[in-house]
A and B are shown apart, each in its own frame.
Chain A
Amino acid sequence: MNYHWNWKIFWDLTPEGSGTYLHTLLVGLLWTLATALAAWVIALVLGVIVGVIRTTPRKWAGRFCNGYVELFRNIPLLVQMFLWFFVIPELLSKHLGDAIKHMPPPWASYVPAVLCLGFFTSARVAEQVRAGIQALPRGQRMAGTALGLTLPQTYRHVILPMTFRIILPPLTSEFLNIIKNSSVALTIGVVELTAAARAMQEFSFQVFEAFTGATILYILTNILVIYGMRWVERRVAIPGFIGPAVQAGGH
Chain B
Amino acid sequence: MFGQFDFGVITRNLPYLIKVGMAFTIELTILVIVLGIVFGTLLAMMRLSSIKVLSAFATAYINLMRSVPLVLVIFWFYFLVPYIGAWIIRSPTPVRVGAFLSSVITYSMFEAAYYAEIMRAGIQSIPRGQVWAGYALGLNYWQTTARIVLPQAFRNMVPILLTQTIVMFQDTSLVYVLSITDFLGAASKIAERDGRYVEMYIFAAVVYFVICVVISFLVRRLQRRIAIIR
Check A78 against B202 for contact (C-beta < 8 Å): no
Check B208 against A79 for contact (C-beta < 8 Å): yes
Q: Is A59 an interface residue (CB 8 A)?
A: no
Give A51-85 interface residues, CB cut-off 8 Å to B: 70-71, 73-80, 82-83
Check A90 against B197 for contact (C-beta < 8 Å): yes
Most chain B beta-carbon contacts within 10 A, residue among A2, A75, A91: A75
Knowing A76-B170, A76-B171, A76-B184 are in contact, say whether A87-B197 is a contact too (CB < 8 A).
Answer: yes
Give B170-184 interface residues, CB cut-off 8 Å to A: 170-171, 173-174, 176-177, 184
Check A74 against B75 for contact (C-beta < 8 Å): no
Which chain A residue lies CB-closest to B111?
A251
Check A197 against B72 for contact (C-beta < 8 Å): yes
Give B145-190 interface residues, CB cut-off 8 Å to A: 160, 163-168, 170-171, 173-174, 176-177, 184, 188
State A28–B161 Cα separation when bound (angstroms). 34
Number of A-B pairs whose CB atoms are under 8 Å? Answer: 124
Check A180 against B69 for contact (C-beta < 8 Å): yes
Q: Kindly state the interface size class of chain B when it binds its partner.
A: 35 or more
How many whole Å from A244's CB to the nearest CB in chain B? 13
Question: Which of these binds chain B: A41-49, A138-146, A158-166, A214-222?
Answer: A214-222
Q: Is B56 an interface residue (CB 8 A)?
A: no
How many whole Å from A245's CB to the nearest CB in chain B? 9
How many whole Å from B4's CB to the nearest CB in chain A? 9
From DSSP, what is the main secondary structure of chain A's interface residues?
helix
Other than the known A91-B1, A215-B72, A249-B160, what 8 A-B pairs have Cβ atoms closer than 8 Å? A74-B213, A79-B204, A82-B201, A82-B204, A187-B176, A208-B80, A214-B72, A218-B68
Chain B residues in the interface with A (C-beta under 8 A): 1, 64, 67-72, 75-76, 79-80, 83, 86-87, 92-93, 114, 160, 163-168, 170-171, 173-174, 176-177, 184, 188, 191, 197-198, 201-202, 204-205, 208-209, 212-213, 216
Q: Can you report 21 A-B residue pairs in the complex whose CB atoms are below 8 A from each other?
A: A2-B92, A2-B93, A75-B212, A78-B173, A79-B208, A83-B205, A87-B198, A87-B201, A90-B197, A180-B69, A180-B70, A182-B69, A184-B71, A194-B71, A201-B75, A214-B72, A247-B160, A247-B163, A249-B168, A250-B167, A251-B167
